[in-house]
Amino acid sequence: MSQDKQVVLVTGGNRGIGYELAKQLGVNGFKVILASRDPVLGPEAAQKLRASGLDVSFVPIDVEDQESIRQAVITVNEQYGRLDVLINNAGVYLDKNEKLLYMDPSILEKTMAINFFGAYHVMRSFIPLMEKQGYGRIINVSSEYGAVSEMSDQGVGAYKLSKLALNGLTRLAAAEIKGDIKINAVDPGWVSTDMGGPSAPRTPKEAAESILWLATTGPDGPNGEFFRDRERIDW
């Protein structure tokens, strides 16, 4: 790996945890690619960060659209020729109070399409850029709801299943990957964002800390693990 400025891509980067991650990564010297499906709010978020002196650019990615992802890979490769860190942050929380077997199936399908398949397609599409240089860090933003123990309690079924699948993907992909490429998942906790709501006790900055840590781990760092506040937690 060269000693050039590292390049990081953050999906769902125009607000909440994603925006804070883009900001903190920029402060820590990364060249940040802020990815968002919103053609207005995405560029505005990137411009706001650039105005504060950070090295941030925008690329459109709709994680439900594989062609959108493919075009983003082409853009990143042409402009930077590398990707050192990928943070799969884009996600939705569509569950109401319905039980899994009684909710509209489209809620589960949409949740899985974004929270699981979205991360899967983004990861598999960008990994070749990491394999080319033999280095990469991938962090999947998951949830404590994705732990197997959470499946014993009813409620939030679509979101739970999507994060359970994401955690499994993290471990399987980590077992398959070669070279100094680490793939881990993080539970950021209950965060005060548009998704988490105003009552959540954690700030986006607090949520970003473990993710930033995993983005900068060395060759002996963890792989295929699940973390909260830099501590391994059970799947």
The catalytic residue positions are: 159
Sheet holding 180-186, edge to edge: 56-60, 31-36, 7-10, 85-88, 135-141, 180-186, 226-228, 231-232
Could you tell me if 45 and 54 are in contact, meaning their C-beta atoms sit under 8 angstroms apart?
Answer: no
Neighbours of 27 (CB within 10 A): 14
CB 29 within 8 A of CB 53: no
Asked whether the beta carbons of 49 and 8 are under 8 A apart, the reply is no
Three-class DSSP category at 127 = helix
Which tokens in the block code for residue 51?
A: 């105005």
> How many CA atoms, within 13 angstroms, populate the side-chain half-sphere of residue 20?
17
What is the Cα–Cα distance from 24 to 99, expressed in whole angstroms?
Answer: 38
